[in-house]
Amino acid sequence: MKLLIVEDDLAMQTALQRALSSRAITVAVCGDGLQALTTWKQLQPDVVLLDLTLPSLDGLAVLSQARQLGLLTPVLILTARSTVGDRVIGLNAGADDYLAKPFDLDELEARLRALHRRNMSSLVEPNSDIIQAGLLRHNKHSGAVYCKDAVIDLTPRELAFLVPLMNRVGHAVSKEQLFKLVFPNATEVQYEAIEVVVYRLRKKLAGTGVNLITLRGLGYLLKEDTNA
């Protein structure tokens, strides 16, 4: 799991980075609100741990702007503000969870991992039985992807790559997340192997009303062709 910690208290930042890194979590840190948005876009973390009191731009503003930019990463707000009103404001701004200081490290880790699991599940489990993008239609129960009424012949890896993008049309999904879905538990597969899947899938998506876009440093997204 790749975690971005946005916290301006250097002692807290260092303590969290050391503690969570020792628990097999890849941790990046940032202490400034404006810089947090840039780092968030570049890093594409699995989860963001966000403090509300930040220089340059407060946590709620960071969260609001991130959501406006289409950054759907799960966010856990970590703050000394513990009233019900503060929690409601944070959750309404787009946070996924809220933990007040002081906190238990085991609980923090459990909440972060739960957000990560939930997010990964949402990539592969559509909210409805049928999802559509352009002329494509995916049937959750049969697993088939159709273009109009014709089944598209996809390999299991191509399907594992395509469905998360169909679930989030117009939004980027990181290369790292897609790699984990396409090559689960594959320890000897080169990271670049996903490019082969992309190359073959692009050919099969020709004329389906969608375009598979590569966003350098961010990942991939599926964009509907308005002229289709």
What's the pLDDT at 125?
62
Last residue of a domain, one of 98, 123, 148: 123
Tokens of 190: 């080169």
pTM, 2 dp: 0.65
User: Do residues 147 and 41 both lie within one domain?
Assistant: no
Residue 157 domain boundaries = 126-224
**CB 179 within 8 Å of CB 191:** yes
Do residues 49 and 6 make contact, with C-beta atoms less than 8 angstroms apart? yes
Are 28 and 97 members of one domain? yes
| pLDDT tens by residue, 84-135 | 666 777 777 889 998 888 899 999 999 999 998 888 776 666 556 788 889 9
Domain ends where: 105, 123, 141?
Answer: 123
Residues near 208 by beta carbon (within 8 Å), at least 6 away in sequence: 134, 135, 136, 147, 152, 228
98 and 201 belong to one structural domain: no
- 70 and 19 housed in the same domain: yes
Q: Does 71 share its domain with 166?
A: no
Residue 110 belongs to a domain with what CATH number?
3.40.50.2300
**Domain count for the chain:** 2
* pLDDT of residue 189 exceeding 70: yes
* Domain boundary, last residue among 72, 101, 123: 123
Confidence at residue 75, expressed as pLDDT on a 0 to 100 scale: 95
Q: Pairing between strand 136-139 and 130-133?
A: antiparallel
* pLDDT given at position 83: 65
140 pLDDT band (50/70/90 cuts)? confident
**φ/ψ of residue 221, rounded to 5:** -145, 155
Token digits of residue 85: 């009103």
The 10 Å CB-count burial string (b at 16+, else e) for 72-101 is: bbbbbbbbebeeeebbebbeebbbbbbbee
The per-residue pLDDT of the chain, averaged, comes to: 88
Task: Indicate if 93 and 203 belong to the same structural domain.
Answer: no
pLDDT, one tens digit per residue, over 4-54 is 999 999 999 999 999 999 999 999 999 999 999 999 988 889 999 999 888
